[in-house]
Amino acid sequence: MKPEEILKEVAEQVSVCTRCKLHYSRKNAVPGSGNPHASIMFIGEGPGFHENEQGLPFVGAAGKFLDELLADAGLERARVFITNVVKCRPPGNRDPFIEELEACKPYLERQISAINPDVVVTLGRISMSYFISNGKISSIHGRPFWSNGRMIVPMYHPAAALHQPSLREVVKGDFSGLPGLIDQAGETRKNNPDLASMSLNENEDDQDDGVTEQLSLF
Ligand code: URA
Ligand code: SF4
């Protein structure tokens, strides 16, 4: 199946999914949107109020800021793919529960493997913990690491930067590094697949921040 067909199938499954309790309160599931052949994918936490209304990811205030960050980095939505770790809105925007993350995981896994991006940017702590179990966002934000053949770049959530103005410049700085990282990741996967397939705990440069493990999920 082509990536676009897989993504369409995932979107259809998600729209009628009852695998976790979040389906009771959703108005629209939010499977994600963007380029099925994107070299970079952004993964947020879960739909908020506006996303639940519209069925599209990052269309509220955090989404406006994300658009700004993407534009500054010379990226536009049509070039990237944006989704969340859970596809239905947690009531009151609470953090998703572990069982909800687990239930929704197969959809995200299928999207990642269909798109096969060189770079995955995690937005916020919950998305980051999909790839690193004990990373501290304050020390590893903006710093790339390899996980199962893909470059992962943890970033602060745009909503956090909206609430904490001191983080704005930090997030902007991290995003400005993305074009270089996309090139680097693409080159490495092409020319040095051994390096790209190295997992985090073998990567010497990343040993020092308490980032010693990755989840077995990916
Ligand atoms: N916050 C998220 O994490 N995801 C969205 O889609 C919107 C806001
Ligand atoms: Fe299904 Fe995911 Fe929605 Fe839960 S959050 S109902 S697992 S699509």
> Residue 32 domain-assigned?
yes
Mean pLDDT of 55-65: 97
* pLDDT band for position 215 (cuts 50, 70, 90): very low
Mean pLDDT of 112-137: 94
* pLDDT band for position 199 (cuts 50, 70, 90): low
Residue 110: other Cβ atoms inside 10 A: 15
Centroid of chain to Cα 82: 7
Q: Both tokens of residue 165?
A: 């103005």
> Residue 215 domain-assigned?
no
How far does the centroid of ligand 1 lie from the alpha carbon of residue 187, in Å? 30
> Residue 216 domain-assigned?
no
Ligand 1 atom nearest residue 30's Cα: 6
CATH number at residue 63: 3.40.470.10
Q: Is 22 in the pocket of ligand 2 (CB under 6 A)?
A: yes
Q: Is 75 in the pocket of ligand 2 (CB under 6 A)?
A: no
Mean pLDDT of 153-177: 96
Q: Is 101 in the pocket of ligand 2 (CB under 6 A)?
A: no
Rounded to two decimals, the pTM is 0.91
> Residue 204 domain-assigned?
yes
> Residue 141 domain-assigned?
yes
Give the pLDDT score at 194: 80
Mean pLDDT of 69-90: 97
> Residue 150 domain-assigned?
yes
How crowded is the C-beta side of 24, counted as CA atoms within 13 Å? 4
Mean pLDDT of 99-111: 98
> Residue 217 domain-assigned?
no
The ligand whose atoms approach the alpha carbon of 96 most closely is: 2
| Domains in the chain, number | 1
Q: Domain residues for 39?
A: 3-209
Give the pLDDT score at 70: 98
- Pairwise CA distance, residues 182 & 112, whole Å: 16
Residue listed under structure tokens 């599931």: 29
Lowest mean pLDDT among 63-67, 71-75, 85-89, 196-200: 196-200
Ramachandran sector of residue 93 (left: φ over 0; alpha: ψ -120 to 50; beta: rest)? left
- Pairwise CA distance, residues 149 & 188, whole Å: 10
The ligand whose atoms approach the alpha carbon of 18 most closely is: 2
> Residue 145 domain-assigned?
yes
